[in-house]
Amino acid sequence: MRLIPSRLAVAVAAVAVVAVPSLALAYNQAPMLANNKALPPVDQRLPAKPQVIKPLDRVGQYGGTLRTAMRSNNDHNAILRVIGNQSLVRWGVDGFNKIEPNLAESWTISPDATSYTFKLRQGAKWSDGTPFTADDILFSMNDVLANKGFLSAVPADFQPGGTPVVVTKTDDYTVVFKFAKPYLPFLEKLATPVDQYPTLFQKKYCSQFHPKYNANVADLIKQNNAKDWGQLFRNFCGDIEIPARWGNPSKPVMDPWVIKEPYTGSATKVVLERNPYFWQVDTAGNQLPYIDRVQFQLISEVETILLAAINGQLDYQQRHISGITNRPVLSENMARGGYKLLPSAGINANQAGLWLNHSTSNAKLQKLIRNKDFRIALSHAIDRREINDIVYLGQSQPWQSGPHKASKFYNEKLATQYLALDIKKANEMLDKLGLKMGSDGFRQYPEGGRVSLGMIVMISNAALMETSELLRKHFSKIGVELVINSSERSLFYDRANTNQYDISLDVFSGGLDPTMNPRPWLAIHATESRMSLPWVKYYLTDGKQGEKPSPSMLKRLDLFDKWQVAKTEAEADGLFKQILEEAANEFEVIGTVMPAPNTGVINKRIVNTPAIMPDGWTWPTPGPSLVQQWSFVK
């Protein structure tokens, strides 16, 4: 009697063994790969457990070429954005609120948040068919990134608090990242394109350009006229943000598409073709990507890109044409160009923020700027509705410097205080400050001299230029003179970095990703925290250089230091909310309007695109929306 169940068990086991390969056989591949005799069958190319991606609308169809455009120089990141950064983890398709597994199947974080253990996707392969293992990560992190011949220092994101990460493997598919201090933001950093290093270089191919693995590397350096092995390595294996990353068709990658026609100085187009070893499938077992090829047309003029878009020569385009000013022409030509509009939400907290310089070299003005009442008066003098109507076609809304409502860090006060247009109140406040109106219509300091602010703004940004003219008009109504110093970008930065400005009109970052770009509330960024760059210097040099920040800023910086080493998410979020609350109380910088939605175009026949996505670099639009599951339908 006992025999029967055990036989049954054997039979069940046998069925199970048979069932696994038969399940695997169910994977489908693109027709363009079906006839390729050189390739192993699709189920051998895929990992045992490929990552299953649920298409946004429906299971797609194979085929087609995604035509898009980029500028012909200094625009390599256009490729990265479409192809996507295949890192250990990735952003959720809808934005910043979730981190999803990617090349790492799962991970655990130690209770003190100092050590991250990643389980890699076993059987995932590089585009040349070589398995992706822990050794590739160790090579990238320990041999390349930590080597002074490649980078003079390990990137800050991989050495929080100044101690570089230690990366080890416990087996071929398990790696441990160990930090000296608690480091909660690590997963979010890993999801951004600039921190893709762990999965960037294949050991087998790239080690031939590394002196540790190739004794004859000196010959290669000479053959290629390179200066050192770092340059040779970059030339063949690329780096995160350089054109050479897309210049070598024989470099193995983990991306959905691989380079066929490389991006070089004389290229007029760049073509990528599907990676037969890509390790994701859809819910019906179809290997991704759906689209066969991605083609970038190289165009030197941005206006020509716009022309190509409205002529329907591009299947997808956001970059360079998504500004609000192009919206009318893009919607007008929708039928003719056969596209629909692809909206994206600007990621910045403010599109035209006034960075008041709290360390301006003008002593009388500095005293004034450091007076909160003066700042409030300026804010009440701004007619934000007019700015919105004239510059942003009424598509935006008045806003200060706070995160958007969609962010969990939304702070009503920081976002909406002192927004009302109230010239009378503003004038009263300025009167109280002892700034008498002169006969020329401008206010005078009590000790004499006209109250005049010099504002630097970049000429390349037309919207900011228009806004600055409106601001000059608005401030003249309360007797404050605004002198606009417009210049091209490098001179702008020159003036900013040498502290030659009273106001800098520029974006406030951190609308959707406040913890990643907290520059408007914290003097931490060496060139962008323009409420006072001397304060930043003080913070970055531990008080050795620069100028001591205001008590409020010191308090925030202290909270920020605590936030950086917080052990739990609750603790971290609590600290960050305190930072924002303190910034709201201090009201250091003045906002005008939040970003208006940007507009791109996408071919009407493409499905599985998100209704709206963030338009950012930390969330490199459109990559994390998983372009590999976009599909042309007939």
Partner 1 sequence: MLNYIFKRMLSAIPFMFMVSLTVFILIQLPPGDFVDSYAAAAASSGETISPEKMADLRHQFGLDRHILIQYFYWIGGIVTGNFGYSFEWQSPVKDLVGERIGLTLILSVAAMLFTWALALPIGVYSAVKRYSIGDYFFTFVGFIGLAVPNFLLALVMMFIASKYYNQDVTGLFSPEFQSADWSLARVYDLMHHLWIPMIIMGAASSAGLIRILRANLIDQLYMPYVVTARSKGLSEVKLLIKYPVRIALNPFVSSIGWILPNLVSGAVIISIVLNLPTVGPMLYQSLMSQDIYLSGTILLVVCLLTVVGTLLSDILLVILDPRIRLEQ
The footprint of partner 1 (CB under 8 A) covers 72-75, 77-78, 151-153, 155-156, 194, 224-227, 230-231, 234-235, 241-244, 247, 261, 264-269, 299-301, 304, 311, 319-320, 347, 460, 489-491, 493-494, 517, 526-528, 615-617
Token pair for 387: 């700015």
* Residue 95: partners with Cβ closer than 8 Å, 6 or more residues away: 406, 512, 613, 614, 619
Q: Taking every pair of C-alpha atoms in the chain, what is the biggest distance, in angstroms?
A: 112
Nearer to partner 1, 46 or 299 (CB): 299
Nearer to partner 1, 132 or 229 (CB): 229
Token pair for 273: 């073709």
Spatial separation of the C-alpha atoms in residues 344 and 260, rounded to whole Å: 30
Nearer to partner 1, 226 or 594 (CB): 226
Rounded to 10 degrees, the C-alpha dihedral 158/163/164/166 comes to: -110
Angle at 580 between CA 89 and CA 560, to 5 degrees: 65
Contact 547, 357 (CB under 8 A): no
Shortest distance, position 234 Cβ to partner 1, whole Å: 5
Spatial separation of the C-alpha atoms in residues 622 and 194, rounded to whole Å: 15
Shortest distance, position 214 Cβ to partner 1, whole Å: 20
Under DSSP, is residue 245 helix (H, G, I), strand (E, B) or coil? helix
Nearer to partner 1, 37 or 227 (CB): 227
Nearer to partner 1, 389 or 494 (CB): 494
Strand partners, 457: 486
The CA–CA distances, whole Å, from 153 to 144, 157, 239, 320 equal 11, 11, 15, 33
Residue-wise DSSP of 70-135: EESSS-THHHHHHH----SEEEETTEEEEEEESSEEEEEE-TTS-EEEEEE-TT-B-TTSPBP-HH
Spatial separation of the C-alpha atoms in residues 562 and 572, rounded to whole Å: 8
Residue by residue, what is the 3-state secondary structure of 512-523? Answer: CCCCCCCCCCCC
Residue in this structure with the two tokens 């130690």, named with its chain if needed: 110
Nearer to partner 1, 216 or 490 (CB): 490
Under DSSP, is residue 505 helix (H, G, I), strand (E, B) or coil? strand
Give the burial class of 230: count Cβ atoms within 10 A of its Cβ; 0-12 exposed, 13-18 middle, 19 or more buried.
buried
Shortest distance, position 524 Cβ to partner 1, whole Å: 11
What's the sign of the alpha-carbon dihedral 565, 566, 569, 572? negative
Shortest distance, position 540 Cβ to partner 1, whole Å: 9
Shortest distance, position 347 Cβ to partner 1, whole Å: 7
Shortest distance, position 586 Cβ to partner 1, whole Å: 24
Q: List, as own/partner pairs, every contact residues 565-571 make where C-beta atoms lie below 8 angstroms and the sequence separation is at least 24, other chains included.
A: 565/161, 565/181, 565/182, 565/183, 566/113, 566/182, 566/184, 567/111, 567/112, 567/113, 567/182, 567/184, 568/113, 568/184, 569/184
Q: Report the 10 Å Cβ neighbour count for 331.
A: 12
Shortest distance, position 601 Cβ to partner 1, whole Å: 17
Shortest distance, position 242 Cβ to partner 1, whole Å: 5
Token pair for 125: 């392969």
Shortest distance, position 243 Cβ to partner 1, whole Å: 5
Shortest distance, position 185 Cβ to partner 1, whole Å: 15
Shortest distance, position 238 Cβ to partner 1, whole Å: 8
Containing 206, the helix (H) or strand (E) segment is helix 203-206
Nearer to partner 1, 439 or 490 (CB): 490
What are φ and ψ of residue 123, in 5° steps?
90, 0
Shortest distance, position 459 Cβ to partner 1, whole Å: 12
Nearer to partner 1, 282 or 513 (CB): 513
Nearer to partner 1, 47 or 230 (CB): 230
The CA–CA distances, whole Å, from 545 to 276, 522, 548 equal 54, 17, 9
Nearer to partner 1, 171 or 301 (CB): 301
Spatial separation of the C-alpha atoms in residues 257 and 259, rounded to whole Å: 7
Nearer to partner 1, 59 or 612 (CB): 612
Nearer to partner 1, 109 or 491 (CB): 491
Nearer to partner 1, 179 or 263 (CB): 263
Shortest distance, position 567 Cβ to partner 1, whole Å: 26
Q: What letter does residue 292 receive in the DSSP assignment?
A: S
Nearer to partner 1, 55 or 193 (CB): 193
Contact 171, 135 (CB under 8 A): no
Residue by residue, what is the 3-state secondary structure of 80-96? Answer: HHHHCCCCCEEEECCEE
Shortest distance, position 69 Cβ to partner 1, whole Å: 11
Shortest distance, position 362 Cβ to partner 1, whole Å: 23
Nearer to partner 1, 475 or 492 (CB): 492
Shortest distance, position 157 Cβ to partner 1, whole Å: 9
The CA–CA distances, whole Å, from 543 to 359, 522, 546, 549, 561 equal 16, 15, 7, 10, 14
Spatial separation of the C-alpha atoms in residues 426 and 421, rounded to whole Å: 9
Nearer to partner 1, 99 or 491 (CB): 491
Contact 525, 519 (CB under 8 A): yes
